Amino acid sequence: MKKITSAQLMSLLADATTLEQDGFGIKVAILKDGNFMKLFRRKRLISSSLWALPAKRFADNANALNQRGIRAPLIDELFSVPESKLSAVIYTPLPGETLRQRLRGLSDAQAEETVMRFGAFLGQLHERGVYFRSLHLGNVICLPDEGLALIDVSDMHLESSPLSAWKRRRNLQHILRYPEDIDWLSHTHKDAWIRGYAQTSGADNARRLEEGIALMSR
């Protein structure tokens, strides 16, 4: 990871388009060449980012996912700005739209098929040891070839074996946080979601997924 100054950062952001920002400044920007820059700020005096820069964690997770055959952003550059307590990553964005955006424009039959594909994708993640705590339909990209990919991959732990039943159940709680997502996954297209999950994770894990959905729906 190379170090740059605040002035060099401002030069990189010249003519960039801001996609996301908060009270501390820019969080995500589109650069002149079309690549994305994601910035991470240390907001507290004592923070885990002192010894594990979040930009590096994002880059490491994205690279590890791609190595496991799960598509994620392709990392171009990684750097820190010590004087501004910043770290940042530049990456090639994935084409397509979020799964949430896609589902809003589909017929019931099309949504059924798409939710089943998401179920198969989720099963694949769990079987490959991916515990993505920020997983929801806004962090899954529908690619032009109808494949699925992950974005915003900082909050993730990668294991060397399939996830335990407890972590799968916990991940279900992460996914079912937004009313719109809950309606699609737990009600309207629940059976399709479970069928898709069974395709890649097996009948026993699919049964436990169904039990978890039922518990959360009470």
Q: What is the mean pLDDT of residues 96-119?
A: 97
Query: SS3 string of 54-92?
Result: HHHHHHHHHHHHHHCCCCCCEEEEEEEEHHHCEEEEEEE
User: How many of the other CB atoms lie within 10 Å of CB of 161?
Assistant: 8
pLDDT in tens, 132-149: 999 999 999 999 999 999
Task: Name the more confident of 104 and 1.
Answer: 104
User: How many of the other CB atoms lie within 10 Å of CB of 158?
Assistant: 17
Angstrom distance (rounded) from CA 89 to CA 95: 18
Q: What is the DSSP string of 121-180?
A: HHHHHHHTTEEETT-STTSEEE-TTS-EEE---SSEEE-SSPPPHHHHHHHHHHHTTSHH
pLDDT of residue 46: 41
* Token representation of residue 156: 């993730």
From residue 16, give the alpha-carbon distance in Å to each of 8, 9, 37. Answer: 14, 11, 9
Nearest to 26 by CA among 34, 35, 17: 17
User: How many of the other CB atoms lie within 10 Å of CB of 73?
Assistant: 27
pLDDT in tens, 156-212: 999 999 999 999 999 999 999 999 999 999 999 999 999 999 999 999 999 999 999
Q: What is the mean pLDDT of residues 110-118?
A: 98
pLDDT in tens, 15-66: 999 999 888 889 999 999 999 999 998 755 444 444 468 899 999 999 999 9
Q: What is the mean pLDDT of residues 59-82?
A: 95
Report whether pLDDT(71) > 50: yes
* Residue 195 · residue 114 · CB < 8 Å: no
Question: Taking the model in full, what pTM does it have?
Answer: 0.91
